[in-house]
Amino acid sequence: MAISRTALSCLESRKNLVGSACGLVGLALTFTGLAGVYWPFVVAGLYGAGALIAPPERPATPDFPDTAGRLEALRGDFARLHTYLAEVELPPAAAGRLTELDQLLAALLEPGWVAEALSVDPEAVHALSRAIRRDIPESVDTYNRARWWTRLNPGTEPPERHLERQLGVLFAEADSIATGLREAESRRQQTHTRYLEDRWGPA
């Protein structure tokens, strides 16, 4: 099967198609008597010349998912994160910070014009993906493990303080993304205002 595919790809290649077309020209010269007794060499030579001048095969570029597809997959991962967090017991202060972060992430990922604005910023999408798929689960998981060890060794620094600080940093990062999107929309509005005023004059 692999050999037949290779043979088929050779037959369908640009070099073979162009060479075959030039070879047909050689056969036409043979039938008209212009090639004479050397017609096999004429046909082979024209085929070889056609194969040489044919453009090389260009491999197809890889088909990566677009940003909209990445956001849709990220929404699914965000839903799975919700399921995980619902089973975790957190101290009140950390739970409050996590709720604020959750609400902000949900607003940024909500389908509609906000997601459309987010989709043009690959770095922001990457930051949200990193927070949802790695940073938040790891923060909560390390808190749970550290809490267990703290019970065996009382008097050490409470692990919830680290969790609160981590969630605070993640909220600041998400809030920075939201601020960037708001500023981009503001610049877009100002640009449109200048365009209208340049066209019609200020109101």
**Is residue 42 situated within a structural domain?**
yes
Is 164 within the bounds of a domain? yes
The verdict on residue 62 lying in a domain is: no
195 and 156 inside one domain = yes
Where does the pLDDT of residue 188 fall: very low under 50, low under 70, confident under 90, or very high at 90 and above? confident
Which stretches within the chain are classed as H helix?
A: 2-11, 14-31, 39-53, 67-86, 92-109, 113-119, 122-130, 136-152, 159-200
Each residue's pLDDT tens digit, 47-87? 666 555 555 656 665 555 556 678 888 999 999 998 999 88
Q: Per the structure, how many domains does the chain have?
A: 2
Residue 58 lies inside a defined structural domain of this protein: no
pLDDT the model gives residue 121: 84
- Shared domain for 110 and 36, answered yes or no, is no
Q: Using CA atoms of 180, 184, 186, 188 in order, give the dihedral in degrees to the nearest 10.
A: 180
Same domain? For 80 and 38 the reply is no
Higher pLDDT, 62 or 137: 137
